[in-house]
């Protein structure tokens, strides 16, 4: 029997620790501050390699190591990196310094403290391509539609039809962020059930995707909803995602193809509006127009002996110019709605924004009105008459 190969872990952890000129872009000095912390952790052997980058106003730490998912040592390194970057933000007077750090103390794991976390552990293949996606001004459910297309839609991913290693399909782990529950659904046989859930991306989020025939992990998404952690609006969630490609998984080109349609996502200005998710290169990941539109960047790496090789800036390509042009047209169309739905989010989502504070002063001015019927309002799956 051969020696068992070690399992490498990729950890992508992000946080908004302050930005230049509003919610615009990360200052390079904060990237340097975080990089110094990670370089020291690499020197001590806590992590194997790292890459520090950004998407819009979010600082992103990409690390490899052999300590597994939810490692206290690795998460503490990330927390310290964000703390040091926040110090620099405050010194420079950057906007919303330390915004995503909802606690003053590290408690063994950064999940629940504000930063978004996506981690996966696996045995390296001879060639191990991975794509790290980073989104700004949107929520984790923004990845629902692309993930379905990548792993379940044969019109997007030809390998589902012609690659025998993928032909059996995939398992989707879906998280209900309102109830703290999870369910696994298999494709293609449970595709319609899956779509019934993930079509509500504010509540049901694809957390992980596994290959069905061997449960090998193919994708993982950060699922932290800041408003549900803090109980109020403190900034948008700005998710990150890791996807493995090739050799039994969708090809990198199939993975990227799922982002060729700039679908509408929630977030944008003040976390209160729908807008198109625009794929961009890192140089264009700064957010400007109405604090947007929402952006997504993709970095391609090879992982070899635990080391990150790369990255390649995958959306920095003229092949996505037409997608970006479509996103601009959608931006114009949605913006002309002003404060009206569907540009503005629905009432359930607006409850977690600052709008309820504005509406408080109007409540006392409402008076009874005889409509000739009693409205039937559904709550929790049941119908109730409103007196």
Catalytic center residues: 16, 233, 236
Task: Note whether 239 and 256 are within 8 A (CB).
Answer: no
Q: Are 373 and 385 in contact (CB under 8 A)?
A: no
| Residue 274: strand, helix, or coil | strand
Q: Two tokens at 30?
A: 């904060």
Burial class (CB in 10 A: 0-12, 13-18, 19+), 213: middle
Supply 209's token pair: 């995707």
d(CA 206, CA 187): 13
The C-alpha torsion from 364 through 365 and 366 to 369, rounded to 10°, is: 130
Query: For residue 59, what are the CA distances in angstroms to 76, 301, 379?
Result: 16, 18, 39
Crossing angle (nearest 10°) for helices 28-43 and 72-92: 150
Q: Give the CA dihedral 289, 291, 292, 298, nearest 10 degrees.
A: 130
Crossing angle of helices 191-198/144-152, nearest 10°?
A: 170
- With tokens 């991913």, the residue in question is 157
Confirm if 27 and 90 have CB atoms less than 8 A apart: no
* Residue appearing with tokens 């109980």: 231
Under the phi-then-psi rule, with left for phi > 0, alpha for psi from -120 to 50, and beta for the rest, what region is 18?
A: left
């Amino acid at each position: 029997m051969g020696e068992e190969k070690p399992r490498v872990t990729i950890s992508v952890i992000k946080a908004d620790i302050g930005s230049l000129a509003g919610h615009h872009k990360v200052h390079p000095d904060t990237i340097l501050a975080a990089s110094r912390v990670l370089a020291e952790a690499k020197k001590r052997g806590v992590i194997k390699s790292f890459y520090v980058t950004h998407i819009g106003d979010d600082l992103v730490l990409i690390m490899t190591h052999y300590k597994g998912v939810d490692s206290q040592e690795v998460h503490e390194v990330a927390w310290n990196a964000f703390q040091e970057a926040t110090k620099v933000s405050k010194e420079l007077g950057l906007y919303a310094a330390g915004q995503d750090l909802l606690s003053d103390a590290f408690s063994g794991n950064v999940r629940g403290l504000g930063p978004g976390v996506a981690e996966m552990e696996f045995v390296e293949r001879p060639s191990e391509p991975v794509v790290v996606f980073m989104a700004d001004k949107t929520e984790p459910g923004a990845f629902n539609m692309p993930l379905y297309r990548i792993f379940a839609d044969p019109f997007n991913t030809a390998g589902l039809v012609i690659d025998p290693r993928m032909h059996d399909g995939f398992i989707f782990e879906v998280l209900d962020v309102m109830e703290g529950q999870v369910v696994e659904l298999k494709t293609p046989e449970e595709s319609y059930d899956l779509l019934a859930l993930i079509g509500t991306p504010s509540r049901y989020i694809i957390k992980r995707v596994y290959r069905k025939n061997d449960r090998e992990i193919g994708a993982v998404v950060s699922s932290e909803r800041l408003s549900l952690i803090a109980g109020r609006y403190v900034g948008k969630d700005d998710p990150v995602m890791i996807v493995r490609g090739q050799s039994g998984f969708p090809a990198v080109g199939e993975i990227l193809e799922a982002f060729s349609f700039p679908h509408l996502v929630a977030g944008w200005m003040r976390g209160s509006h729908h807008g198109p998710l625009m794929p961009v290169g890192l140089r264009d990941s700064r957010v400007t127009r109405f604090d947007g539109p929402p952006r997504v960047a993709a970095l391609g790496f090879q992982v070899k002996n635990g080391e990150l090789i790369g990255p390649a800036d995958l959306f920095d390509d003229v092949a996505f110019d037409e997608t970006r042009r479509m996103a601009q047209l959608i931006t114009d169309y949605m913006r002309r709605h002003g404060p009206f739905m569907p540009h503005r989010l629905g009432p359930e989502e607006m409850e977690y924004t600052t709008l309820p504070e504005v509406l408080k002063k109007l409540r006392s001015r409402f008076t009874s009105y005889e409509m000739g019927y009693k409205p039937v309002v559904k709550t929790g799956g049941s119908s109730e008459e409103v007196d």
